[in-house]
Amino acid sequence: MARHPLTLLRASVNLSHPAYARLVAETHADLGFGHMAARREKVSRWESGRTVPELTAQIAIAHIHQVPEEAVTRLGWPYWLHLATSDAALLTSPWTPDGAIDVLHGTARRADAEPRSYLAVTGSAVASLSRASLAAVADWQPPPARDGRRVAPDTAAWIETRIEALEAVEPPVSPAVLYPAARAEFRLITGLLAGSGYDRKTGTWLFLLAARAAALCGWFSDALGEEARGERYYLAAIRAATTAGARRWASVYLSNLAASHLAVGDPRDAVPLIGAARAIARRPSPRLTAALYIREARTHARLGEAAASTRALDHAASTLAAGPGDWDPTIDPFVGNVDEDWLARSTGITWLQIGRPERALRHFTTLLDDGPSSHVPTLPFLPLARDLLHVVDAQIALGELEAAVHSAGRAVAVFGSLPIGLLRRYRQRFAPHRGVPAVRDLFDLLEEQPLSSV
């Protein structure tokens, strides 16, 4: 269940809704803003997202949690609340090697210990992040050497071999299995960066390895339906990649971060990220260019701009068709999945978001049982289960409830035990139709699912 950042702040001072309402009202009066009703319902509405506190109430809340008033007006609600949570380092750490280590270390410690269900960097903070990432690579210098017990180049090479193995894992290995392995690599590299010595060359190498491990954690988290956790890993990956001066890698991670906002956030936040991804790459490869056009198409679709969306889809298709057929990971890091199958699924999702579910289904043929037998999607189980959600959405929109139930049942069949994030989404899709016998049977099947919390 989603937790508003204000809920976390209230929990940090161990107060109930009524007690927190009284504290805010008392602080409001102490600051000279006058009387304010102290009702628990008011706090509940703030935390549910139904209402936004008046500016003076926000300043009172900021005073309680030691957030500068300037940040309240600059970032707006609820974005400034992150400055009072453990996500603050993602917003405030300087774009320096030490600042990057702080972000990496905080992400390694808190990504699972403090689960989130909302994105940390949103609104005006996204534009600031985009500008900062561009500035970080504009005048790049290798990170300085650090004193301490030296990390040998052989150690970095040994770590890179394992990361390459994780990046190259073929279907059908599940991200539920791979995420803990990537997380262990990320924690190891972060520990070396924070607590060991290295020369400039090895330090640069370690920062790039940290970026690659963080991005793997982000991708596996997305596949598990944990986009908020994935976002924090992508933020760490961007910091590490820009510190390493790895422009193409940073571009890919900015693109992935844009996808997080398109999936569970505000599509307007994807705009500066896509722009920064293009600018950082300088000359993006055909696969990366196609991926960025798809992000652009989905952004326009989410914003109701159908004509601009279809133009971007056309650009994506022509760019990918004109590029080399074989994937070279040294040229195209982390976009090996950008192929014709990926383009078809992404195009289907875009048409669905434009409001054309019948056209979307035409692009989902490789996800359907009756798709061409020679064209099986090269997806691990969890991404397949995630993408089948879009098939379900299209079928429900067309009134094809029986087919939607069948697609959901297929997701369960191919994976066996869906993680909590995906299981919750399947239940949400069918909740309005629980009176239909086939849907009741599906809910019985979903209730039998052993929960995976990875």
| Per-residue pLDDT tens listing for the chain (454 residues) | 346 889 888 988 889 999 999 999 999 999 999 999 999 999 999 998 889 999 999 999 999 998 999 989 888 888 888 888 777 788 789 999 999 999 999 999 888 876 677 788 888 889 999 999 999 999 899 999 999 999 999 999 999 999 999 988 765 677 888 999 999 999 999 999 999 999 999 999 999 999 999 999 999 999 888 898 999 999 999 999 999 999 999 999 999 999 999 999 899 999 999 999 999 998 888 999 999 999 999 999 999 999 999 999 999 999 999 988 777 777 777 787 889 999 999 999 999 999 999 999 999 988 886 544 434 444 455 567 888 999 999 999 999 999 999 999 988 887 777 888 888 899 999 999 999 999 999 999 988 765 555 5
- Closest by CA to 319, choosing from 281, 292, 280, 279, is 292
Smallest CA-to-CA distance from 193 within 237, 151, 158, 159 is with 151
452 beta partners:
419
Q: Positive or negative CA dihedral for 284, 286, 288, 293? A: positive
Give helix 40-48 / helix 17-30 axis angle, nearest 10°: 100
pTM for the model stands at 0.84
Amino acid letter at 316? A
Q: d(Cα 316, Cα 320) in Å, to the nearest integer? A: 6
